[in-house]
Structure 1
Amino acid sequence: MRFLPPRTTSLLVLLLITAGTLWLRWPAFSFGLWNLDEAIHATAARAILDGGVLYRDAIDQRTPLSYYAVAGVFAIFGENNLWAVRCAIALLIAGTGWLLFLAGRTLRGGFAGIAAAALFVLLTTAMLYAGDANAANTEWFVAFFTSAGAAVLLLGGTKPSARQIFLTGALFGCAFLSKQPALLDAAAPFATLLYLGWRANRPPRRLALTLLTLIGGWLAPVLLTAGYLAARGALGDAIFYTWIYNLRFYGPETTLADRVMSALLPFRLLGAAQPGLLALWFAGAGFVLHRVLQRRPEPAEQATNPGLLFVAVWSLVALAGAAAGGRDFQHYHIQFLAPFSLGAGLALALLPGWLGSARSRWLRVAAALLLALVTYHTAVLALSARRPNRVVPVDPSMRVSNHIREHSNAADRIFVWGYHPDIYLLADRLPASRFLYASFLTGLVPWTNGAPGVDTSYAIVPGAMDTLLRDLAASRPLFIVDCSAGPNRFWSKYPLEKFPPLHAFIRAGYKQVESHYFLPQGFRLFQRKEPGEIVPEEAFPLLPPAVTDQFTLGTLGSPLVPVRASARHGADVTMVDRHLEFFAHAPSTITYRVPANAAFLRGGFGIRPGAYAPENKGPTDGAEFLVRWRPDGGKEEILFRHLLRPRDEPADRRVHGFRVALPPHQGGELELVITAGPYENTASDWTYWSDLLLEYSR
C-alpha cells in the first residue's frame, strides 16, 4: 500500500479490520449469556438507567467505565440488548486492532502494523475459551485505551508534544477506570519518557514537567469521575468496593504461586494455538532487551529504541496486571494480548527481510519455516473462529427466571439471595437492592473460599446485612429467589436459616411458591404476600394441605392422610419407574395418626441420582432416614435409623427397602423423618420415601 497516502491507508485498514472482526464474531452476538460478568454489567447498567449511581445503588468491585458504557448502549438500543453490546465490543476490538496497526506501522512499517492488528483480532476471538472470548468483558476497554495511549505516544517519535503526552496519560487513566490492574500499564509511557529524557540529557526540571504532564493527563479522567461520584454521594462506597474490599478480602485469597501460574496461562494458550509465533515473540523480546540495554546504540537505533522500550515495558506490566488476581480466567489476559500482538507483529516484520538479505542459508531456511508455521496456524485460527460448536452450559436459573417474568410486570423488582445476577437479566427485572449478588453479605470470595467446610464470615462486609434489609424494606420486591437449595455457585453453604434477620424478613412478608417445581432445580422462590393476606405461622415450615394430602400411606383399608408434614425446601409426589415416590427434601417430617391394630410399616427410601452425580458441583454429603413412634400414653422411640452417603459410598446409591414392627399399642403417631445428615448440610439433599405401606396383621 505504499502508493496510497498514509491517511487513505489507515482508513482502508480500519474498514478491513472492522469488517473482519464483525464477520468473525457475528455468530456469537445472539447467544443468551456468555459469562457471569455480562449479567453483572447488564444489571448494573439497568440500575444506572433507572437513575441509580454505581456503588451507591448497584455494587460491583471494579472501576466504573465499562458499566456506564453498557448503560449507554442500552440507552440507545434498548435495555438488556446484549446483541448490541457485543456488537459494540466487536467495534471496540476492531478499533484496538487499528490502533495497534498505527503503533506497529510507526515502529517498523505497514507489515508490522497489519500483523499486530490481525493477530489481536484472531487471538482474542479464536484462542480463548468461548465464554471469555465472546463476552462483554472489562478487559476489552483496558486493551482499547492502552492501545490508544500507545499509538498516541509512539506517533510522537522521540519528541512527543505536551498535548500528546497529556492525551496519553488521559487514555491510560481511562484504562484504569475500566479495571484497576490497568494502573500498572501506565508504567510503560512513564518509563519511555524517562528514557527519552535520559538519552537527550534533558534538565531535571524539564523532565519533571514532562512526567507531570503525563500524570496530569492520567488524573484528569480519574478526578472527573471521582467528582461525579462525590457529588452523588457514592465516592466513599466506590473507594471501599474498588480498593479496600479488593485489598482486604478479594486479593489475599490468592497466593503468589497462584499469580505466577496465572502469568503462565497466556503462554500455555499461545503454545497450543501459535507455537511458532510464541517462539518468535520470545526471540524478539531478547532482541529488544539487547537493543534497549546497550550503552551506546547506533544513531539509527536511537530513534527506535524508545518505542521498543515502550512495547517491552507495556508487555511486562500488562502481564503482571492480568496475573494480579491470581485466577485462571482467560479473559483477564486480553489486557496482555494487546502488547503481545504488537510485539509479535514487530517480530514478524523481521522475517521477510531475513528471507531476502540474510547471509546465512540456515537463517533464511529458519525464517521461511517460521513464517510458514505462523501463517499456517493463523489460517487455522481464522477458519476456526466462527465454528458453531463454541458453546457454554445453559444457565440453570432460566426456569425460575421465566416464572418471575411471566408473573410480574416491568415495574416489579426482585432480589436474588445467591451469586446469580443472571436471574435479573433473564427475568428482565430490576434488582431490589444495591447488592447485585450476595457474596458481600456472606463472605464468599468466588472461586476461592467456596468449599462447603470453609467458614467465610471473616470476609463479610461490615453492616452489609443491615443495608440489605433497608433496601428490601424500601423496595418491597415481588419475588425473592433463594439459590441455597442446590449447588448454585457455592451457595448451598448459605441457607437462609443461617441469616436470621433476612430469614425473619422473608417469613414475615413472603410465602414460598411452586416448591415442587423449583426445588429439584436448586431454587426456592418466595412471593410477596398480598395486602391483608394472612398466612398462618405454621404455613412456613408445614406443607400446604394440597401437597400433604398426596402423601397417603397405603393400607389394606382406607389410605391414611398425614396429620401434618413439613419439608423446609419443598416436597412432591411422583411416579418414578412404577414406584410411588414421596420426594421430601431434607430436612423433612411426615406424621401419620395410625389405629390400634397397625403392626408393620414397610417401604423404601433413597436419594435421587442427580444429588451425587459427577457434574454436580455441590453434591449431597448424605442424609439420615428415621421412623419415629409415639404411642398414646407411651414413650417415644426410634424404630428405624439409616444414614445414606451416596457420594462416598456406592452401595448407598440404590433404593433401600425396610420393614419395621410397631410395638403393641392402642394407637399413636408414626413419623417419617429425614435429617440433613451429621453436618446439617442441606445441599442437594434430594431425598425420598417410596411405596410406603402400613400392615395390620401380625
Structure 2
Amino acid sequence: MLAEPPPPPRTVTTRVLPDQRRRPADPPAPSERYWRRLLPVLATLALLTRIPSFRHPLWNPDEGYLAVQAKLLAGGGELYATVVDRKPPLLPWLYEAAFALCGDGSLGPLRLAAVAAQLLTALALAATARRRWGDRAGRAAGVLHLLVSVGLNPEDAQAATFEVFMLPFTAAAVCCADRGNWTRAGLAVAGACLTKQTGGAALAPVLWLLWQQPGKRRISLLRTAVGVVTPIAVAALLTGPSRFLFWTVTGSGAYATFAGSELHVLTRGLANTALLAASCAGLLPPVVRVLRIARTGAADLWLWLIASAGAVLLGFHFFGHYYLQLIPPLVLLATGALQILPPYRLTSALLTSACACALFLLWGLLAPRPDLVHTERLAGAVAARTGSADRVLVWGIHPETYWLAGRAPASRFLTAGLLTNYSGGRDGPQVGEKYGVAGAWPTFRAELADRPPALIVDDSRGKPFAPDRLPTLRRLLGARYERSAVVDGAVFYVRTG
C-alpha cells in the first residue's frame, strides 16, 4: 500500500500592528530594483497630480509675494532689511535662484520644483513605510500621498508656496530618525523650519524616536541639536541675527491672534477641514478601524500628527495650505493600519483616493480665478500709466500686481497687511495703523518721502484697510496726489506738481 501523503503545512497569518517597526518575514526585494521600478511610477503620478498648477501664471498672493521678493533680491535688495516678510529665508532664496537661472517672467521652473518636492516627500514616506511594514506598504504610502496631496482648494494645493516645499524636509526628518541618522534628522528639521516656522513640528516625532532608542541618548541628542541649530544659525548670520529673529519669530504677535472676524475664520477652518477629510476618504476609515479593533498605533506618527495639527491651529487663520502638513503623518498612519486589514482594504483605499484626486484635479483645471483676472487688469493699467523705471505703490493684498506689471514697489512693505494687520478677511478691531508691524509706519513714511511713487493704486475696495481709515495714508494722498482713474474698482492716484 502507498503511504498517505503528509497533510499540507498550515499557513499562519501574523497580524502586524502599526507600531511594530520591523521588516517582514519574507525577504524584501533588492533595494535597487525596488526603487528603479517605483520611482518612475511616483514621478509620473507627481507630475499628473500637479498638471493644474501650470494652468495659471499665479495661484495665490503668496506666489506673487515671493516673485516680487526674488526680483528685489536679484536687484541688490537685502532680506529682512529692504525686502521683508514674516517667513524664513529658504523659499525667497529658491525663487531668486530660479529667476537667476531661468528668468523672472514665469513661475514655470518653480512649478517643476514643486513637483519635485512632492515626489521627494512621497519617496521619503515610501522609504519609512517599507522599512516598517515591507515592500507593498512602501508602494502604497508613496502613491497615497501623491493622490491626497492635491485634496484642497487648488489655490492652496497647486501653488508653489511654503508648505509644499516644507513637506519633503518633514518627511525626511522622520525617515532619518527612524534609521537612527540623528544629524541628518536634525538637518531636515532645520530645513523645514527655514522654509516655514511650523515645520518645527517634525521635531516632536524625531525626539520621540530618539528617546525610544536604547543607550547613547545624549550623543544622539547632541547630534540632532547640531543638525537643527547649525543651518538656522548660518541663516541668521547671513541675514542679521536681530532682523532674522524679529521677522521670523518676535514680530508677528498681532498677526497670531484670534481677535477679529472669529466667525469668518472658524468657517474657513471648518471648510478646509471638510475638504481635507473628503480628500482623505480612503485613509481615515482604515485608521479608525484599527483604533477600534486594536487600540494601538505608532506613537511617533500620532505625535507627528498632533504636532502638525497644533501647527495648523497656530495663528488662528486656518488657511487651506496650512493643512498640507497633516497629510504625511496621516498617510503613514493609514498605511500602517492597512497592514492588519484584509488586502481588499488597500485596494479600496487606493480607488477612493484616486476618485477624490480626480475630482480635485478637475476643480483645478476648470475653476475660474476672478482675483487673478482683477490683478491682471490692474497690472495692465499700471504698466500703461507708468514708465519702466517708475516706482509705484499698490495699496492692497495682491503683491503680484508689481510682478505682472513689471514695476518696482515704492516700499519694502509689499502688502497692506504688514502695515495694518489685515490678513485673510480679518476685519475686526485689530486692523489699523497701530496694529501693524512694530516700527513699520515710520519706515514707510520715510520711504515715500525719500522717493515718492509716481502712482498709488488704492486696491482696498471697501476693506478695513482703506486709506480713509488710515490717517497717515489719507494725509499723503490729500497733500501730494490727485485721483485720476478707477480700474475694476481700484482707484488710481497720480502725483501732483
**Structures share a fold, TM > 0.5?**
yes
**CA distance in 1 between partners of 2:291 and 2:205 (Å):** 15
AA aligned opposite 2:369: V
Residue in structure 2 matched with residue 564 of structure 1 by the alignment: none
**CA distance in 1 between partners of 2:95 and 2:400 (Å):** 16
Residue in structure 1 matched with residue 19 of structure 2 by the alignment: none
Shift of 1:382: 4.4
* TM-score normalised by L of structure 1: 0.62
Residue in structure 2 matched with residue 212 of structure 1 by the alignment: 222
- Pairwise mapping of residues 595-614 of structure 1 onto structure 2 (< 5 A)? none
Residue in structure 1 matched with residue 318 of structure 2 by the alignment: 328
Corresponding residue to 1:315 among 300, 305, 321: 305
Corresponding residue to 2:493 among 512, 516, 526: 526
* TM-score normalised by L of structure 2: 0.85
In structure 2, relative to structure 1, the CA distance for the partners of 1:464 and 1:325 (3 Å cut) is closer
Query: Does the CA contact (< 8 Å) of 1:193 and 1:210 recur in 2?
Result: yes
Corresponding residue to 2:355 among 380, 388, 391: 380
Secondary structure in structure 1 of the residue aligned to 2:173: helix
**CA distance in 2 between partners of 1:282 and 1:256 (Å):** 31
AA aligned opposite 1:32: P
- Pairwise mapping of residues 132-143 of structure 1 onto structure 2 (< 5 A)? 132-143=156-167
Larger deviation: 414-423 or 468-477? 468-477
Corresponding residue to 1:512 among 473, 483, 491: 483
**CA distance in 2 between partners of 1:247 and 1:188 (Å):** 27
Residue 184 (structure 1) aligned with residue 207 (structure 2):
no
**CA distance in 1 between partners of 2:299 and 2:353 (Å):** 27
Query: Does the CA contact (< 8 Å) of 1:254 and 1:326 recur in 2?
Result: no
Corresponding residue to 1:268 among 252, 274, 277: 274
Residue in structure 1 matched with residue 23 of structure 2 by the alignment: none
In structure 2, relative to structure 1, the CA distance for the partners of 1:16 and 1:416 (3 Å cut) is same
Residue in structure 1 matched with residue 93 of structure 2 by the alignment: 68
Residue 171 (structure 1) aligned with residue 188 (structure 2):
yes
Deviations 1:573-607 (A, max 9, x none): xxxxxxxxxxxxxxxxxxxxxxxxxxxxxxxxxxx
AA aligned opposite 1:14: L
In structure 2, relative to structure 1, the CA distance for the partners of 1:48 and 1:87 (3 Å cut) is same
Shift of 1:143: 1.0
In structure 2, relative to structure 1, the CA distance for the partners of 1:431 and 1:75 (3 Å cut) is same
Query: Does the CA contact (< 8 Å) of 1:42 and 1:80 recur in 2?
Result: no
Residue in structure 1 matched with residue 238 of structure 2 by the alignment: 228
**Higher relative CO (CA 8 A, sep ≥ 6), structure 1 or 2?**
2
Secondary structure in structure 2 of the residue aligned to 1:480: strand
Residue in structure 2 matched with residue 130 of structure 1 by the alignment: 154
Deviations 1:353-410 (A, max 9, x none): x45xxxxxxxxxxxx3x44532331231343354232343243233221022234344
Structure 1 unaligned regions, length at least 5: 292-307, 356-367, 535-698
Secondary structure in structure 2 of the residue aligned to 1:481: strand
Deviations 1:548-577 (A, max 9, x none): xxxxxxxxxxxxxxxxxxxxxxxxxxxxxx
Query: Does the CA contact (< 8 Å) of 1:479 and 1:528 recur in 2?
Result: yes
Residue 38 (structure 1) aligned with residue 63 (structure 2):
yes
AA aligned opposite 1:84: P
Corresponding residue to 1:290 among 268, 290, 296: 296
Secondary structure in structure 1 of the residue aligned to 2:104: coil
AA aligned opposite 1:147: A
**CA distance in 2 between partners of 1:345 and 1:41 (Å):** 35
AA aligned opposite 1:215: A
Deviations 1:163-187 (A, max 9, x none): x211110110110111112223211
Residue 19 (structure 1) aligned with residue 44 (structure 2):
yes
Residue in structure 2 matched with residue 278 of structure 1 by the alignment: 284
**CA distance in 2 between partners of 1:500 and 1:59 (Å):** 23
Shift of 1:527: 3.0
- Pairwise mapping of residues 297-696 of structure 1 onto structure 2 (< 5 A)? 308-351=298-341, 354-355=342-343, 368=344, 370-387=345-362, 388-395=365-372, 396-448=374-426, 450-451=427-428, 456-484=432-460, 486-487=461-462, 490=463, 493-513=464-484, 515=485, 517-518=486-487, 521-528=488-495, 534=497
Structure with the largest fraction of strand: 1
**CA distance in 2 between partners of 1:407 and 1:255 (Å):** 36
Query: Does the CA contact (< 8 Å) of 1:262 and 1:326 recur in 2?
Result: no
Residue 7 (structure 1) aligned with residue 32 (structure 2):
yes
Query: Does the CA contact (< 8 Å) of 1:18 and 1:95 recur in 2?
Result: no
Shift of 1:147: 0.7
Shift of 1:18: 1.4
**CA distance in 1 between partners of 2:264 and 2:386 (Å):** 44
AA aligned opposite 2:57: G
In structure 2, relative to structure 1, the CA distance for the partners of 1:274 and 1:455 (3 Å cut) is closer
Secondary structure in structure 1 of the residue aligned to 2:414: coil
**CA distance in 2 between partners of 1:466 and 1:406 (Å):** 31
AA aligned opposite 1:243: V
Answer with 1 or 2: which has the greater Rg.
Answer: 1
**CA distance in 2 between partners of 1:311 and 1:191 (Å):** 10
Residue in structure 2 matched with residue 237 of structure 1 by the alignment: 243
Q: Report percent identity of matched pairs.
A: 26
Structure with the largest fraction of helix: 2
Residue in structure 2 matched with residue 89 of structure 1 by the alignment: 114
Structure 2 unaligned regions, length at least 5: 1-25
Shift of 1:2: 7.9
